[in-house]
Structure 1
Amino acid sequence: MRLLATMAAACVVWSSCVVAQGSDGVFKIGVINDQSGVYSYVTGRGSVEATRLAVEDAGGKVLGKRIEVLVGDDQNKPDIAAAIVRKWMDVDGVNVILAGGGSATTVAAITVAKEKNKTILVAGAGSSDITGKLCAPNVTHWVFDTYGLAASVGKAVVAQGGKSWFFVTADYSFGLALERDTARFIQAGGGKLLGDAKHPLNSPDFASYLLQAKASGAQVVGFANAGGDMVNSIKQAREFGIGQGGQRLVGLLLYVNDIQALGLPTADGILGVASFYHDLNDATRAWTKRYMERFPGGNIPNMTHAGAYAAINHYLKAVTTAGSDDAAIVGKTMRQMPVNDFYDKDVRIRADGRVLQNMMLWQAKSPQESKGPYDLLTIRQTLPGADVYRPESEGACPLVAN
């Protein structure tokens, strides 16, 4: 009973969660992620508003039905994520789920969606298992995964001479997988690992971990964490003088919002990678303007928010093309159609569900280089998705003939 009460409270935070019980004439999209915790500012409401933009661009209807968006707060707890998704499917008649944020909560949502044979779009969770042993015809994985992050930024830093590494790692599935995958590319490039320090989720104090990193003498301190943990660990690293005495700071999953939170004097020179940048061209700037009109105060959209739009946009096109929301039919149609939107151009979705969006290696600008409050990053290199994501033959996805 306590779990159900918590779940209900999480749902009614957003008025759009309160919907008519009948599904006649209504097509329902459920968006579930962290709405209130450590990942809320990089997923949260931003993914909801991006979903609503995609719904608007579809005319607000699909298959002749009005589209309605439901929102759930998984609170970074897998049991809550599973309970919300199960209720949405059993009681509320939700047609499709958009999930993202913590890998554990997303995997919980995927498990229920697979059981119920419903489509689930993943935008913001990092586990590469989603297109590996967990892959299914009704699952597509957007934005990034741990392998793609590692192959992008890890390989690039090693190629630039960053041969010795020390990791500060979030001690749960996402952080451990990100360190593991990055280590693979470091060693393949002739680099070596000098150690790591693992911290719990939502840590307030990184002093002991950072002192170990500093004492290691590693050329590179790699942060295999995200959200508030990433921001706090980098801020405290600067306070300890790390990054100023020859050691280089690398964020393996840094969002543009993290750079906003850090400020350019602190973030100056840090490397990261993203599949979307708001200030890339006229089309991304136009979409960003629409998005930011919903957020007084200057909240910039990041790759997860843009990925949520892309996933819903492509899904609704596939439903229209197929004339059905049946998970098997739509999953096949989504894979047959190239992804095209305001920033994706003819992007392919593989059989394992991996969306091969390009990744961009970026560097945070110095305060002197920046021309305004949203001019934060310099794009150093664009990496084709086909080159950075794990080959299908190595993923153990049962849909792929090896």
Structure 2
Amino acid sequence: MSHLTRRSALSACAMLLTAASTLAGHAQPIAASGPIRLALVESLSGSFANTGEAVFRNIAWAVERVNSRGGVRLPAAAGGARLLQLARYDSKGSSEEALSALRAAIDDGARVILQGNSSAIASVLIEAINKHNQREPDKRVLLLNYSAVEPSLTNERCSFWHFRFDAHADMRMTALMDVLREDRRLSQVYLIGQDYSFGQAVLREARRQLASQRPDVAVVGEELHPVGRVKDFAPYAVKIKASGAQAVITGNWGNDLTLLVKAAREVGYDGMFYTFYGNALGAPAALGDAGVGKVVAVADWLPNLPTAGSEAFYKSFRQRFPDPRDDYVHMRMQLMVEALAQAMERAASLDAVAVARALEAADVTLAGQSGRMRAEDHQFQQQLVVGVMDRVGAPGVQFDVEGSGYGFRVVRQIAADQARMPSSCRMQRP
């Protein structure tokens, strides 16, 4: 899944070209003022292009859903019913390019920025938006974050203009530990992560929680590696195997995870992997049978969640994107777009301050999954689930990942109230 298929690429382009006409078959009025422009600022080329394209599919699908029911319904004074229009801006995995993309998006009329696949990039965007909104109050923008989970972004560095729809790294680690602490076979673990704010935060929190919940478990290795630049993880895998660790804890994502687990399989490492993102983007296929019962992943939602609403939701995604290589769907991204549409309608305006205040009270449900925004820090509160990799057809594994023949059986559901963590945010509001 490292690249879109030609069919998928054409489909993606078609989504952009037809976004403004989605209502044609629904006999809904289209406001003369035009669509509401959303800007996706993401890695659409380079090492993490697959993650950016996967996010684009999710958000395009969510936009289609809103538009199919008439778009965002605003009062006549605000333009009446308005469609959402999703535009793409390639950050190329670079903070500098992301800032250029932000400026271009604002110049093009976007007032909502969507980003997530890098906490480092999210950090620079938040800072830039804080400054921009102060300098140009008539062109204020909001940043909706679906994946940048470095904890400080909704703690000491929180911003009125930033809303996070993913559980932050400490919340995800707590959910993983809820399963890991019960594995009495573990006596040694290895920590490995990407060398930037997020990866550092994951390893730091892993050490802290191990010390408090499993003081009997020794950390026998700790490694940080360059983000998106390692092509051969064999040297890391050899060290992991030689350490004697029975488990690896990692927040790696994208190719940095896929290549790591592939290298581990090739050197014969047979320990557990406790991951943030091991349930997608090639990781299950890379491990094959070696990962059965040994890869644990935490998420806000998994396709094999045992509810009728969840099953119907996943099947509808597969109908929309039938190529199994396009299999990357995240409930939180769907809830994010639903929350934005809800906030705009409640604000009865597209003014950034009014929409932000309405978004602080967002409470959304889709396919039986619910979440609400916490106003004090703009950290979305939702359930978390933990799954274990198994063969499709095994009990609890109806759906596989990316046509690999392997899926994730849900072994733990953690309610939003249990997943909640305190915040140190001291937000400044306009």
Deviations 1:285-315, CA, capped at 9 Å, x for gaps = 3333333334341222333xx2222111111
TM-score of the two chains, using structure 2 as the length reference: 0.80
Structure 1 residues 358 and 36: CA distance shift in structure 2, 3 A:
same
Q: Which of 206, 217, 222 in structure 1 is aligned with 2:233?
A: 206
Listed as ranges, the matches of 1:115-154 within 5 Å are 115-116=132-133, 117-154=140-177
Return the alpha-carbon distance in structure 1 between the equivalents of residues 369 and 238 of structure 2.
42
For 2:388, the equivalent position in structure 1 comes to 363
> Mapping of 1:1-400 within 5 angstroms?
16=16, 24-44=33-53, 45-63=56-74, 64=80, 65-89=82-106, 91-114=107-130, 115-116=132-133, 117-161=140-184, 162-189=186-213, 190=215, 191-202=217-228, 203-243=230-270, 247-262=271-286, 264-269=288-293, 270-280=295-305, 281-298=307-324, 299-303=326-330, 306-345=331-370, 347-366=372-391, 369=394, 373=400, 376-392=407-423, 396-399=424-427
User: What TM-score do the two structures reach when normalised by structure 1?
Assistant: 0.85
Asked whether the 8 Å contact 1:362–1:381 carries over to 2, the reply is: yes
Residue 368 of structure 1: CA displacement? 6.6
Alpha-carbon distance change, 132 to 210 in structure 1, aligned in 2, over 3 angstroms: same
Q: Is 1:288–1:300's contact at 8 Å kept on the other side of the alignment?
A: no
Output the CA distance in 2 between the equivalents of 1:120 and 1:346. Answer: 18
1:255 offset after TM fit, Å? 3.2
What is the Cα deviation at residue 130 of structure 1? 1.5
Q: Residues 382 and 18 from structure 1, CA distance in 2 versus in 1: closer, same or farther, beyond 3 angstroms?
A: closer
**SS of match in other structure, 2:181:** helix
Q: By how many angstroms is 1:213 displaced?
A: 1.5
The alpha-carbon distance between structure 1 residues 163 and 354, as it changes in their structure 2 partners (threshold 3 A), is farther
- The runs of 5 or more residues in structure 2 that have no matched partner are 1-11, 21-31, 75-79, 134-139
Q: Does the 8 Å CA contact 1:135/1:397 hold for their aligned counterparts?
A: yes
Query: Residues 311 and 136 (structure 1 numbering): CA distance in 2 closer, same or farther, change over 3 Å?
Result: same
Q: Does the 8 Å contact 2:371/2:381 carry over to 1? A: no
1:56–1:353 distance in 2 versus 1, CA, 3 Å: same
Per-residue CA deviations over 1:1-26 (Å, capped at 9, x if unaligned) read xxxxxxxxxxxx95739999xx9433
In 1, Cα distance between equivalents of 2:69 and 2:95: 31
**Aligned in 2, Cα 1:383/1:320: closer, same or farther, shift over 3 Å?**
same
CA deviation map 1:22-74 (0-9, x unaligned): x9433111112222344343442323323423433552344323322111121
CA shift digits 1:63-99 (9 cap, x unpaired): 323322111121110111111112211x211121111
Distance in 2, Cα, partners of 1:273 & 1:348: 20
Alpha carbons 1:151, 1:185 under 8 Å: kept:
yes
Comparing 284-293 with 139-148, greater Cα deviation is found at 284-293
Residue 218 of structure 1 aligns to a residue in which SS?
coil
Distance 1:176 1:33 in 2: 22
Q: Which amino acid aligns with 1:230?
A: L
AA matched with 1:179: L
| 1:232-261 deviation line (CA, Å, top 9, x unaligned) | 111111111212xxx322223323344453
Q: Which amino acid aligns with 1:379?
A: V
Count of aligned positions = 377
Q: 231-240 vs 151-160, which deviates more? A: 151-160
Counterpart code for 1:25 = G
**Post-superposition offset of 1:273:** 0.7
Identity %: 20
- Residue type of the partner of 1:200? P
Give the C-alpha shift of residue 180 in structure 1: 1.0
| 1:126–1:174 CA contact under 8 A, matched in 2 | yes
Contact 1:365 1:378 in 2 (8 A): yes
TM-superposed CA distance for 1:348, in Å, is 4.4
Whether the 8 Å CA contact 1:43–1:100 is kept in 2: the answer is: no
Whole-angstrom CA distance in 1 between matches of 2:206 and 2:18: 43
Distance 1:18 1:372, change over 3 A: closer
The CA RMSD measured in Å over matched residues stands at 2.7
Tell whether the 8 Å contact from 1:99 to 1:123 is kept in structure 2 after alignment.
Answer: yes
Are 1:363 and 1:378, in contact at CA under 8 Å, matched by a contact in 2? yes
Aligned residues of 2:167 and 2:379 also touching (Cα < 8 A): no
CA distance in 2, matches of 1:286, 1:57: 18
| Counterpart-to-counterpart distance in 1, 2:60 and 2:192 | 32
Assess, with a 3 A threshold, how the Cα gap between structure 1 residues 222 and 104 changes in structure 2: closer, same or farther.
same
Unaligned runs of 5+ in 1: 1-12
